[in-house]
């Protein structure tokens, strides 16, 4: 007998069963990552997040699941629908709460419909999508959103769901022996610029390394959080990840977490935090107390590329946005989301707007591809 259940806490779902449903080892949908967010105060109703995870059960066994949240705003999602919310509320509706199938605070493409692999996976993904839509309709919510989906998940969404796409910049490993081999694949101008940027940082005399999360002390984690928090605050953004969250990372995820700290006379003055899977490296957070030319690029990009090469990782995803990444070897990749707006008239109006947006994104992608930093062969 198949049963649909919604859960107010990820810990209500068995960790081993949840993780076994992932089609790959993307760390952002791991039970440990999502549980750490909830246990350390990062998922809070007053910040617009309420866990509402979906489980599909067959004879009491978890056979499919989806990270799901009731959202009271659109912060921390990176697929921007503020204009939709404004339009619906001007028309007299309540846009929030809405239902969100995503990973909090992380614009990382990856599995969102956890249904295992092999026979029956496609049908289970469709069942998850139907359950999300059914819940929104029963509860008279405005909408359901599934962000940063894997391409093989897209067929689970029928034509009633609106398609949306954007662009990120990812680095791909073509079997480079080392960083110099990667540089050799770039055109002369880009290669020269990168070497100059790295030379600026080298002259600053900082001690830079890559450390596994399990090797960091409690004091080092406190310092990492302080740098993260101060950098967010300086830019007028909300630092949603708590000190407790950072402090638990080394224990809960171990060396899945990687840190590139830059030290001046032993003190960490800047850092970039990454997560690592079997085949990919994911750049997440940056923080610094010193303004050193090129240091951001060194920690967030070049150290990540070196690490990916050294560990035979296939790709490096440094995060959302940023055309400046193109000049540093990262190429445009399309991301995908799907959106179900319950009201038919509202859905039709947004569909029209998205058609124009899709044309612009397509043209933008073509323009980026025409400016590849790699040498033509």
Cα distance between residue 292 and residue 254, in whole Å: 30
pLDDT at 158 over 70: yes
Please choose, from the candidates 48, 51, 46, 60, the residue with its C-alpha nearest in 3D space to the C-alpha of residue 17: 60
pLDDT, one tens digit per residue, over 122-144 is 999 999 999 999 999 999 999 99
Cα distance between residue 50 and residue 43, in whole Å: 7
Least confident of 167-181, 231-245, 278-292: 231-245
pLDDT at 377 over 80: no
Mean pLDDT over 223-235 rounds to 91
pLDDT, one tens digit per residue, over 159-190 is 999 999 999 999 999 999 999 999 999 999 99
| All domains in the chain, ordered by first residue | 2-167+334-369 (3.40.630.30), 174-313 (3.40.630.30)
pLDDT at 236: 76
pTM: 0.96
Q: Decide which of 234 and 54 is more confident.
A: 54
pLDDT at 235: 78
pLDDT at 324 over 80: yes
Cα distance between residue 282 and residue 260, in whole Å: 13
Cα distance between residue 56 and residue 54, in whole Å: 7
Q: In terms of residues, how long is the chain?
A: 377
Spatial contact of 91 and 39, defined as CB atoms under 8 Å apart: no
- Please tell me whether the peptide bond between 277 and the residue prior to it is cis, using omega within 30 degrees of 0: no
Task: Give the chain's mean pLDDT.
Answer: 96
pLDDT, one tens digit per residue, over 6-35 is 999 999 999 999 999 999 999 999 999 999
Question: In percent, how much of the chain has pLDDT > 70?
Answer: 100
pLDDT at 2: 86
pLDDT, one tens digit per residue, over 38-95 is 999 999 999 999 999 999 999 999 999 999 999 999 999 999 999 999 999 999 999 9
Show Cβ contacts of residue 86 under 8 Å, excluding neighbours closer than 6 positions. Answer: none
pLDDT at 271: 98
Question: Cα-flanking dihedrals φ and ψ of residue 75, to 5°?
Answer: -75, 145
Please choose, from the candidates 333, 334, 339, 335, the residue with its C-alpha nearest in 3D space to the C-alpha of residue 163: 339
Mean pLDDT over 349-362 rounds to 97
């Amino acid at each position: 007998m198949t049963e649909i259940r919604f859960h107010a806490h990820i810990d209500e779902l068995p960790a081993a069963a949840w993780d076994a449903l992932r089609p790959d080892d993307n760390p952002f949908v791991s039970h440990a990552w999502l549980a750490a967010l909830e246990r350390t105060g990062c998922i809070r109703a007053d910040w617009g997040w309420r866990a509402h995870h979906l489980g599909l059960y067959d004879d009491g066994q978890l056979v499919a699941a989806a990270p799901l949240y009731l959202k009271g705003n659109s912060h921390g999602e990176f697929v921007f629908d503020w204009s939709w919310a404004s339009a619906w509320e001007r028309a007299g509706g309540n846009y929030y709460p809405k239902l969100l199938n995503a990973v909090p605070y992380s614009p990382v493409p990856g599995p969102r419909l956890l249904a295992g692999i092999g026979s029956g996976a496609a049908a289970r993904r469709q069942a998850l999508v139907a359950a999300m839509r059914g819940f929104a309709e029963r509860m008279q919510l405005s909408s359901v959103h599934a962000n940063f989906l894997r391409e093989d998940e897209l067929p689970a969404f029928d034509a009633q769901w609106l398609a949306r796409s954007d662009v990120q910049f990812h680095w791909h490993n073509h079997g480079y022996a080392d960083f110099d081999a990667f540089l050799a694949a770039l055109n002369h101008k880009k290669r020269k610029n990168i070497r100059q940027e790295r030379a600026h940082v080298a002259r600053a005399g900082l001690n830079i390394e890559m450390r596994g999360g399990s090797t960091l002390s409690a004091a080092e984690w406190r310092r990492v959080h302080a740098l993260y928090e101060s950098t967010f605050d300086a830019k007028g953004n909300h630092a949603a990840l708590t000190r407790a969250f950072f402090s638990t990372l080394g224990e809960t995820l171990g060396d899945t977490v990687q840190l590139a700290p830059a030290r001046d006379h032993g003190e960490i003055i800047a850092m970039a935090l990454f997560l690592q899977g079997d085949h990919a490296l994911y750049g997440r957070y940056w923080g610094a107390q010193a303004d050193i030319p090129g240091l951001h690029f060194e920690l967030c990009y070049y150290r990540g590329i070196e690490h990916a090469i050294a560990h035979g990782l296939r790709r490096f995803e440094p995060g959302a946005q940023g055309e400046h990444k193109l000049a540093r070897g990262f190429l445009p990749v399309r991301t995908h989301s799907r959106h179900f707006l319950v009201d038919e008239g509202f859905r039709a109006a947004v569909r029209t707007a998205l058609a124009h947006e899709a044309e612009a994104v397509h043209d933008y992608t073509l323009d980026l591809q025409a400016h590849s930093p790699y040498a033509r062969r």
